[in-house]
Structure 1
Amino acid sequence: MKVHAFDRSIFVRDDKKLIHELESIDDALAFLAAWPESRRGPIYQSAFRACQAVREERLHLDGARNALHCFARSAGILEQAPVSIEPWMIVPRNGRGGILA
């Protein structure tokens, strides 16, 4: 089976407020399959069909990622990518443990 990984992950929140990182079509289809049936509207159907079309090599990966992004935004579950701050990026403040020159 061919791996269909997105160039950038999409972060979404489920109904339990847990954040999921969708890195591939398989991740997206698993998330969409678990989506409550009562909340599956036309935008959901569009995203689901787009992901299936990528698996069948009828659509480019970017098309499915865009459809999934639109679905997440319209459903109000889209999350911003977490920002990682490395310790070396933090500038110490004077008088708070920083080294004075």
Structure 2
Amino acid sequence: MDRLQFFSPVRISRAPGQPVEDIDGVREAMAFLRKWPKGRRGPVYQCALNCCAAALASQMSAEEARKAFTGFARITRLLDDDMALPMDSENRGSAYALRR
């Protein structure tokens, strides 16, 4: 398995009724982020972009970049409704922090 490939894809949907797109790895996530409209690039976008760049430079794992990209997709309402992340102890803390 390629070190930049995600263990499971991030499923995104651009709009209701639109086809679901699977983002399978860091390179695909980076390509998606580079096409994101400049006027909609905020701190969550920047975090996801930085994490993908760090994974490409072997400074971060692909799974850490996946978590950042998934957060970006969730906040921008692109994350497919059928996609649910397992709630391990690490995710519970970040999910709690986002709800506060």
> What is the TM-score with the length of structure 2 in the denominator?
0.72
Shift of 1:44: 0.4
Q: How is 1:31-50 mapped onto 2 (pairs within 5 angstroms)?
A: 31-50=32-51
Shift of 1:22: 0.2
* Cα deviations by residue, 1:4-63 (Å, 9 ceiling, x for unpaired): 110000011236x44321001111011111111111100000000000000000111111
Identity percentage of aligned residues: 29
Match of 1:71 in 2: 72
Deviating runs (4+, > 3 A) in structure 1? none
How much is the aligned-residue C-alpha RMSD, in angstroms?
Answer: 1.9
How far apart in 1 are the matches of 2:5 and 2:49?
A: 16
Match of 2:98 in 1: none
Structure (1 or 2) with the larger CA radius of gyration: 1
Structure 2: which 5+ residue stretches go unaligned? Answer: 84-100
Q: How is 1:1-101 mapped onto 2 (pairs within 5 angstroms)?
A: 4-14=4-14, 17-79=18-80, 80-81=82-83
How far apart in 1 are the matches of 2:62 and 2:3?
A: 11
SS in 2 for 1:57: coil
How far apart in 2 are the matches of 1:14 and 1:56?
A: 29
Match of 1:84 in 2: none
SS in 2 for 1:23: strand
Aligned length: 80
How far apart in 2 are the matches of 1:29 and 1:14?
A: 16
How far apart in 2 are the matches of 1:22 and 1:67?
A: 13
How far apart in 1 are the matches of 2:6 and 2:37?
A: 24
How far apart in 2 are the matches of 1:65 and 1:78?
A: 12
Structure 1: which 5+ residue stretches go unaligned? Answer: 82-101
